[in-house]
A and B are shown apart, each in its own frame.
Chain A
Amino acid sequence: MIRVAVIRFPGSNCDEDTLRAAARAGATAYYVWHRDTDLDQADVVMLPGGFAYGDYLRAGAIARFSPVMAAVTEHARAGGAVLGICNGFQILCEAGLLPGALMRNAGLQFLSRPVDVRVERTDTPFTCAYAAGTIIRVPIAHGEGRYVATDDTLRALEAEGRVVLRYVGENPNGSAADIAGITNAERTVVGMMPHPERAADPLLGGAPGAGVFASVLHCLPTLQGGSA
């Protein structure tokens, strides 16, 4: 059974949806409080959306100093799968587990609405259940989602196929190269601004985001060489 740890920071507000989506996909999902330093044998770590520590200073800037982040970093460095959604993506960038940063939306407004994104890569533990090129409609809900990075980093992301999700039709926040989600060089850590957990239950009008959580169940054992 795949064990998914959903980290709760003071200010997380998508933790329950994320836990529910992971459990619905068939994982053993449980919360880990930000003061804990033990991930309880997690196979996968998920950093949910919200406003950890009030997003003081910069989104994710304080959260990365949480006691639990040392364990998350160790898990990631050892090749463990980590997903950061929205605020979780911001935290992963601040923690240096993903390159670049997320800045204020180009239009300044907080945006909360569905957007279309294309699944560019299916060789990550969070997208392998999709067919490459699939366009899914999932909600965004952020004020600071404009992905920026140095030219060198952007070139590397494109050359190495590390752009996982890209906005199609319309880029809501002005991100570089229409980037909505990226992965690290090892393809184990993924950050995305859209909220797949908010579109993972058919009762709420379709489940295009469920594939993110199904991916963990379907592909992680294979990606880990069957050890899980």
Chain B
Amino acid sequence: MAAFHVQVRVMPRATLLDPQGQAVEHALGALGFAGVKAVRVGRALTLTVDAATAADAHAQATDMCRRLLANPVTEDFEVVVGAAP
């Protein structure tokens, strides 16, 4: 077993309205950042997962996303497993 650093990124589904992203985009425009488009706000989680292999850590984190970390109706997720320390 090794402890793997896992990063989980949860984002609102692209087809759904993301009012938070829109508000941030407006604020960036007000600050003078011209040409910023398609801002979306999601959630990032970092976990340490004990697993035999990186693939196992990935599978565990994916299961966590399906069952808790992401809402299957409104969000998409991405799992990145870092090297064991």
Contact = CB atoms under 8 A, between A and B. Distances in A.
Interface of A: 57-58, 61, 93-94, 99-101, 103-108, 146, 148-150, 174
A103 B23 contact: no
Contact of B73 (A57, A104, A148): A148
A174 B22 CA distance: 14
Contact of A101 (B17, B20, B69, B71): B71
Contacts of A146: 17
Nearest to A64: B68
Contact of B69 (A57, A100, A103, A108): A57
- Per DSSP, chain B at the interface is mixed
B19 interface: yes
B17 A61 contact: no
B73 A100 contact: yes
Contacts of B20: 104, 108
Interface residues of B, number: 11
B16 interface: yes
9 contacts: A57-B69, A103-B12, A103-B16, A105-B19, A106-B17, A108-B19, A148-B16, A148-B74, A174-B17
Contacts of A104: 19-20
A206 B69 CA distance: 42
A107 B71 contact: no
Interface string B17-37: 101100100000000000000
A106 B19 contact: yes
Given A148-B16, A174-B17, A94 B71 contact: yes
A117 to B, nearest CB: 21
A149 B15 CA distance: 12
Contacts of B17: 103, 106, 146, 174
Contacts of A103: 12, 16-17, 74
A99 B16 CA distance: 16
Contacts of B23: 108
B68 A61 contact: yes
Q: What are the nearest 10 A-B pairs in CB distance?
A: A101-B73, A101-B74, A108-B19, A101-B71, A106-B19, A104-B19, A108-B23, A103-B74, A58-B71, A148-B74
B19 A61 contact: no
**In the complex, which of the residues B16, B17, B73 has the most CB atoms of chain A within 10 Å of its own CB atom?**
B73
Nearest to A107: B19
Contacts of B73: 93, 99-101, 148-150
B68 to A, nearest CB: 7
A150 B69 CA distance: 19
A57 B68 contact: yes
A78 to B, nearest CB: 24
A99 B71 CA distance: 12
